[in-house]
Amino acid sequence: MRKNSKGSETVQSHPNEWISVIPLEQMTNKEYDVLIVGSGAGGGAVLWRLCEQWKNKKKQIGLLEAGDLLLPTHGQNLPTMNIDRLLNNYFPKVATPIGKRLPQYSEATLVFALGGRTLFWSTASPRMPTFEMEKWPVTANEMKFYYVIAEKVMNVTPFFARGSSMQNIMLERLKKNGFPEAIDLPMAVNLKGTQQGQIGSDVFFSSIHFLAYALNWRAFDLAVNSRVVQVVIDQGRTVGVHVISPDKKSYFIRAKTVVLSTGALETPRILLYSGIQGPAIGHYLTNHSLLRAIGQINRRNFSEELGNLVINIPQTKQSPFQIQMLGSEKYYAYQPFEEKPFLEEVKIALNTFGKVESRFENSVYLDPTERDEYGIPQIQVSFSYSERDNMIIQQMAQAKIQATSAMKLSLTSQENRPPISLMSPGNDYHESGTCRMGDDPLTSATNQFGQIHGIPGLYVADNSVLPSIGAANPTLTTIALSIRTADYIIRQLG
């Protein structure tokens, strides 16, 4: 705090304010038409869509983020970062490894910051196969409509490795040797350069783009370091949220509509602590089983200009997994002034994501004994792979061996792990399903538009709502559904 010229106290400006933020005290003076909790992929998408569609409306829109301002863009857009510095040095310093207290989900890691984990994600953006969504309460045509919107705003493209010798040769080898479905990996990257004053240097997409686009359309209120702990329901309808600041002061912020976008681990925590009833809330936790491997090949297989490699072997009905390949390992994306070493042996990372069954017993629940620094119950996780999940993991290992053979790679051990390593649950960062949408309140937490069953004005827009995720990276699908939820809210509020 500081005093103004009249001697009264004013709120001190945020020392790292690259986007306008306001104090929680100021937000308590309003009633918001829509209050979004969480600024990751889902929350950012809802904010952008509301601001775009309500650009000429006098609606009050607010955004609450539990973390602070961290990065103003995806980490790989920063000139001082490369993949190694970002993921191996910086990310561990700013992430919260909650898996340390979750024995059955030991690699779970959250990022409490504006933009959340989108500041660090790979930007891999494949669509979920249509056959995986056959039992969803959303039609294939509607998903296609919202996929197109999401891909446009995210700049999803299959051309990140266009013209690369390594990409072309490896794709051809895969297609000719048992993997005809192999494709260029769709990625959320802006490949347009700076033209006629329009700056094109922000290549990798993050939720910060959503905030920037939203600001272009209209104003909204943003508060950081604002931990939402409860949704308040009065006479069966949402009326606002309780928030705690870092100094442990409590605030009540009024809202006609609340959208929870805090992820598949934190969103059920808020709902459960709010006393919101629903037999599916917190249950049906799913993720991707993940096999990692590193393959290497002699550089003489390619032209002098090596290029990069980003390939996806997508899920099929017969193969319930996808294999993503990035190369050359830490240099599939690098800064223009970064010296790329000339190595005889080129390394390629192979990540295989497997479908995991959606089962009631895999769940997130409030720990009866552990509380956080605010006195709120911590979460605990019950999770295991089923017999079918383990069968798929075996299929994944065989397919990975076949793919490396097709590309003429040799597998190598990394970091004291075997050549093909099954990662612990949570390492994939794709946790989903804990507030899944559906028509039956007994087996789903929300309706087809993400509204919690029986509670008008309370929505979920994050990975939680996905009834299943197959083997595809879920972010694109979550963003598409979040835009759809925003459109539904707009229709409800006018």
H or E segment and range at residue 47: helix 41-53
Predicted TM-score (pTM) of the model is 0.95
Q: What is the CA radius of gyration of the chain?
A: 23
Q: What's the rounded Cα separation, in Å, for the pair 281 and 435? A: 5
Residue 201 has pLDDT above 80, yes or no: no
The single residue listed with the structure tokens 């190694």 is 84
Q: Please give the structure tokens belonging to residue 351.
A: 């990540």
- Angle of helix 387-406 relative to helix 165-176, nearest 10 degrees, comes to 120
Q: Please give the structure tokens belonging to residue 64.
A: 């609450």
218-242 mean pLDDT: 98
Residue 472 has pLDDT above 60, yes or no: yes
Q: What's the rounded Cα separation, in Å, for the pair 181 and 313? A: 6
- E-strand ranges in 343-448 read 345-354, 363-371, 377-382, 410-412, 420-422
Query: Considering the chain, what is the average pLDDT of its residues?
Result: 94
pLDDT tens digit string along 331-388?
778 777 777 677 788 999 999 999 999 999 999 999 999 999 999 999 999 999 999 9
Lowest mean pLDDT among 32-36, 125-129, 289-293, 324-328: 324-328
Secondary structure (DSSP) of 383-394: ----HHHHHHHH
Strand partners, 274: none
Neighbours of 91 (CB within 10 A): 16
* Contact call for residues 3 and 9 (beta carbons, < 8 A): yes
3: confidence class by pLDDT, cuts 50, 70, 90: very low
92-117 mean pLDDT: 97
Neighbours of 238 (CB within 10 A): 23
pLDDT tens digit string along 68-85?
999 999 999 999 998 889
Sign of the Cα pseudo-torsion (227, 95, 434, 142, in order): positive
